[in-house]
Structure formats: C-alpha cells, structure tokens
Amino acid sequence: MFNTILVANRGEIAIRVMRACREMDIKTVAVHSEADSNALFAKYADEAHCIGLPPASQSYLRIDRILDVAEKTDAEAIHPGYGFLAENPVFARECGKMGIVFIGPSDKSINAAGSKITAKKTMEKAGVPVIPGISAEIEDPESAIDAAEEIGYPVIIKASAGGGGIGMKIAKNAEELVSAVHSTRAVAKSAFGDDTVFMEKYLLQPRHIEFQILADSYGDTVHLNERECSIQRRHQKLIEESPSPVMTPELREKMGAAAIKATRAIDYTNAGTVEFMYSLGDFYFLEMNTRLQVEHPITEMVTGIDIVRKQITIAAGGRLDLEQEDIGINGWAIECRINAEDPLNDFAPSPGRITRYRSPGGPGIRVDSGVHTGYTISPFYDSMVSKLISWGQTREESIEKMLRALYEYIIVGVSINVPFHKAVLRNPHFINGELTTHFIEDFDVLTQVRAVVEGEKEKGVTLASAIGADDRKVAAITAAVKTYIVNQDRK
C-alpha cells in the first residue's frame, strides 16, 4: 500500500479522497492555488503546497508543478479527483514516466474513451448498442444531409473531443443541420482545440442512465448497478438517484452486461462510469467517463462499497475482491448538487462570500462539502457548494428525507439553487419517476421554483433573514420553514 498520496484537485472531492486516505493510514499532500490557501481541503491534508495563481491554467492544470510537488514530497501516487486533469492522458503518462502511480486508468484507456467517434466505433465492434448516426467525422455540412435523411430528423451534432454537452446542437431539418455543424465546430475548436464533430439520431423521451464500474489489473470487472442522472440543465447533471425508477431486473442485467463489455473493450482498470441513453425501451452507449464521478456517493450509499477506497487499493496492485452476485441494492439514495447559482437567472454562477453556513444532518443524510462560514466561492472554479445526499428504505422515504434536509440547509451570502431542488422534488412528475433529460423545460420547473421563492417570502421564512442572526434565531427560522412545508403538504 502507498505511504503518501498527492491529491491533484480541490474542494469537496479533495477532502473526500483525503478522508479515505486517512482511514487507510496514508499521508496526503494537497496542491492549491493562491485563492485556495485557506480552503478546508488545504488544511485537512497532512501537507499543502501552493502551485500558482487562481486561474486553473496557472495552477490546477500545471502538470509540471504538480509533479514537482509529488517528487519533493515523495508521493508514490496521485489521485486526480474529477475535472481538471482527471481525464488527461498526458498527465497519466507523465506520472508513469516519473514512477508515480496515477490512480485511474492507463493513458491508452483514457485516449480510447476520450474521442466520442473512436469510442463509438470501439463499442460497435464490441457489440455494445450505440445510437444510430455517423461514426465518423463530418467533413462538411452538405455531406451530412443525406445521412440525416436516412437516419431521420431530428438529429444532434456533437463535438468528438468534448463533454458536458458543450456545443451540442439539435437540427430538425437540413437548414438547421448546416447551421448546427458550423456552430458546434466553432465551439469545439474554442473549448477543446479540436473542431471534429459527428452526428447522431436525437432520441425521444431520453433518460440518462449510467453504470458504475470497478476493474482491477487481474481481469476482474464488476458493475455497482445504475444511477439515474436525467435531471439536468444545459446537459449538466443536477439531481441523481440510485437505483433508477425505470429499471427492472431484466433491464439491469442487460445494461450491466453491456457496461462490463464496454469496459473490457478498452482494457480498462480502476473506477469508471459507462453512460447510456435510454429511450422508449431501448438503451444506447453514450460515453465512458474515465474517472470518479461527482455522483458516486449515491452508489456508495446503496451498495455499501467505498469506491475511493477501492480505487486506491486497485492502483496499489490489490485485487477487486468482489463478485457480481455479491453486489446488491439496499434502499434508495438521491443526490442534489448544491451550487452557488441563480436558477431564475439562467443558472448564472453566484460567486461571493458565505456569511452563514449550516449544513443539515440526521438519519439518512450525508453532506460532502468543502465550504464554511466565511468561505468565498471563487469565480475561477466550479460553483459547487456541496453534494447533499439522502438515503431511505424506499424512494418515497429518500425524497422525504431530502426535502427535510433542503429546508434545514442554511447558506447565506450567495444565491444558491436550493429552491430549484425543492421544486423538483415536490413535482408530481418527479415523484412518479417520469424523468427525461428535458425535465426542466417539459414540466415548467422554473415557474415552480419562482413559486417556491415567493411562497417562502410571503411566509417570512426566507433564509436571507438569517443574515446576522444568532443561533437561536437561525433555529427558529429553520423550525418555521419545517412548519411551513408540513402545512403545505396538508393542503
């Protein structure tokens, strides 16, 4: 086992990894920008080193500086977390050159999954279902028109090297297709330095379902069942749950087998996620994320498996020591991504100083966070405040616990998306499990968010009134919020 691990990330995921290391009696090294000098993750680590200015390009993306710290601190391994360099094959390769273990897959596996066109061809060859489309680069808009006619509109244009829905465009006819190709190509060039684009059939009533994978270097591979990730804004996930409301034992077996087949097709090791689109009874390979996912806690909650601990063990040469039949599902877990953003202003980020912070707790509630009262949400990085996770014996119970926790959460000083989560979890379509990736638009969720905000203002229970309040008043406000929601439920 390793003696020292450097965590090449920040915020809550850095703390999450360091907690696993502390349990395993492994020393941790943090690297941070000047903006994060006083951040919790930097203080939590056994040792912390500043590697540059606040912009990520001058700190968290500097491979040379990170490796320099690793060498100075005798770190035997690096955990990349997610984001930043987590899926960068160059970083994985440079770690190997220095004799440092990259806690993740090989650079070859990252490369194989990184290009959507290459990955799609690989999965087709392996017999994994893929979305109908052109598995090749679109050279010019006109060349795609004939194929689109054969596939059938609508179609969607995607960046091959991209992720997170960046640049995606939907086309309902030939004219829109030409415009979409030009637009996506320009965005892809700017965002990823690669203007390669491709086309797929646009699915109706799509759901985003992913399977968590663990694979060791001895050829053993298992999946940890599925997560439903359909509640999104601009293709970015906001609410996830496990298991999926649409899943059946038969479908889980088929999708799980396809996920393992996809993993083995690129000779994958460590933790990863195979993502599928599900539409009208069929499922299709979407992409593979070659890293730990933001939503991994809900899988941990329902399986009892510590995924980060498994990552470290596998990277150290240990065996997976898990059989597929041993992995079950206990209860239901939901994760809400609590972000400093305003859902009523197109989810615009809301950087600033948190003047009061109090996280919820109690049975069935987990909070993964790296913030505190006085902490400043930086404009240089992702706006995530925390991941709020609920667990219950049933989906209904998990929803109830999440709603209770949301109404206990005190975050003052920045706009947060808690009203959005309240609105979604009280939406009858969500309660019935009627989810699609267009949930926000299809069910006019933002109107419901506005109603939540206005309703709380009318009742005098807005959390903004907690500014400057002492602990007794905060407790009174929390109690008032809980009373209000109970009364609303009884109407």
Q: Rounded to whole angstroms, how far apart are CA atoms 166 and 170?
A: 12
Helices within 169-232 (DSSP H only): 174-192
Q: Which of 10, 227, 252, 291 is catalytic?
A: 291
Query: Residue 237 class from Cβ within 10 Å (0-12 exposed, 13-18 middle, 19+ buried)?
Result: buried
Which residues are registered as beta bridge partners of 228? 209, 241
Residue-wise burial string across 19-41, b where 16 or more C-beta atoms lie within 10 A, e elsewhere: bbbeebebbbbbbbbebbeebbb
Report H helices in 140-248: 141-151, 174-192
**Taken in order 398, 211, 311, 321, is the CA torsion positive or negative?**
positive
**SS3 state at 313:** helix
In a 13 Å sphere around the CA of 366, the CA atoms on its Cβ side amount to 20
Measuring CA to CA, which residue among 457, 455, 461, 454 is closest to residue 477? 461
* DSSP, residue by residue, 42-97: HHHSSEEEEEE-SSGGGTTT-HHHHHHHHHHTT-SEEE--SSTTTT-HHHHHHHHH
Nearest to 418 by CA among 352, 479, 357, 487: 357
CA distances from 354 to 33, 374, 396, 399, 438 (A): 20, 5, 32, 27, 32
C-alpha to C-alpha distance for 232 and 206, rounded to whole angstroms: 12
Q: Is 10 a catalytic residue?
A: no
CA-wise closest residue to 241 among 329, 332, 307: 332
Helices within 266-354 (DSSP H only) = 296-303, 307-315
Among residues 270, 273, 252, 251, the alpha carbon closest in space to that of 262 is found at: 273
DSSP code, position 130: B
Q: Which residues are catalytic?
A: 291
